[in-house]
A and B are shown apart, each in its own frame.
Chain A
Amino acid sequence: MSEFQTVFGSLNDYTKGELKIINDDPKHYVFSNIFDVASKSKPYEKVVVAINLEYVIEAVRAEGVSDWFAVAHDEFAIIMDGEVRIDLVKLDNPNAVVAPDKQGAVKVKGEPVGKKMGHIVCKRGHQALLPAGAAYRFTATKTGVMMMQTVIGDLSVQKWADICYK
Chain B
Amino acid sequence: MSAAANVLVNASAPSNETGYRTFTLGSFKISRDEYFVHVTWPAKGQQMKHIMSADAFLRAMMRDVAWGFFYGWVNFDGMVGTRNKYGQVEFYAGRYAPAYHERGLDLVETFDTPLIMATFKAILEDFTNKGFDPFAAPDETGSSWVGKKNGSNSEAIDRQRQACKRMPGLPGDAELRTDSNGYPVNRAFADVVQDAPEIHAEKGFENDVHAMNLFAYLSRSDVTWNPSVTSVCGRSLCCPTTEEYILPIKHGNDRVEWFVQLSDEIEWEVEDKLTGLPRAKAIMKAGDVAAMPANIRHQGFSKKRSMLLVWENATPELPDMYESGKLQPYPVNF
Contact = CB atoms under 8 A, between A and B. Distances in A.
Given A4-B187, A55-B234, A128-B211, A19 B280 contact: yes
B230 interface: yes
B334 A50 contact: no
A20 B238 CA distance: 26
B284 A17 contact: yes
Nearest to A1: B191
Contact of A30 (B190, B219, B290): B290
Contact of B190 (A2, A17, A23): A2
Tell me whether chain B's interface is mostly helix, strand or loop, or mixed.
mixed
Nearest to A18: B283
A99 B313 CA distance: 24
B236 interface: yes
A96 interface: no
Contacts of A51: 331-332
Interface string A1-40: 1101111110000111111111110111111111110000
B213 A18 contact: no
Contacts of A16: 285, 287-288
B231 A149 contact: yes
Interface stretch (B45-53, B60-68, B194-202): B194-202
A124 B211 CA distance: 12
B230 A127 contact: yes
B200 A7 contact: no
Given A118-B200, A128-B211, A74 B270 contact: no
B264 interface: yes
Interface in B277-313: 277-293, 304-305, 307, 311, 313
B260 A34 contact: yes
B281 A17 contact: no
A115 interface: yes
A118 B201 contact: yes
A65 interface: no
Nearest to B235: A55
A24 B313 contact: no
B286 A4 contact: no
A161 B197 contact: no
B215 A125 contact: yes
Given A30-B330, A53-B313, A126-B214, A24 B291 contact: no
B282 to A, nearest CB: 5
- In the A-B complex, the 3 residue pairs with the smallest Cβ-Cβ separation, listed nearest first, are A125-B215, A2-B190, A9-B286
15 contacts: A4-B190, A18-B282, A20-B281, A24-B279, A27-B333, A28-B330, A30-B330, A31-B291, A74-B233, A90-B205, A115-B204, A118-B200, A118-B209, A129-B210, A160-B332
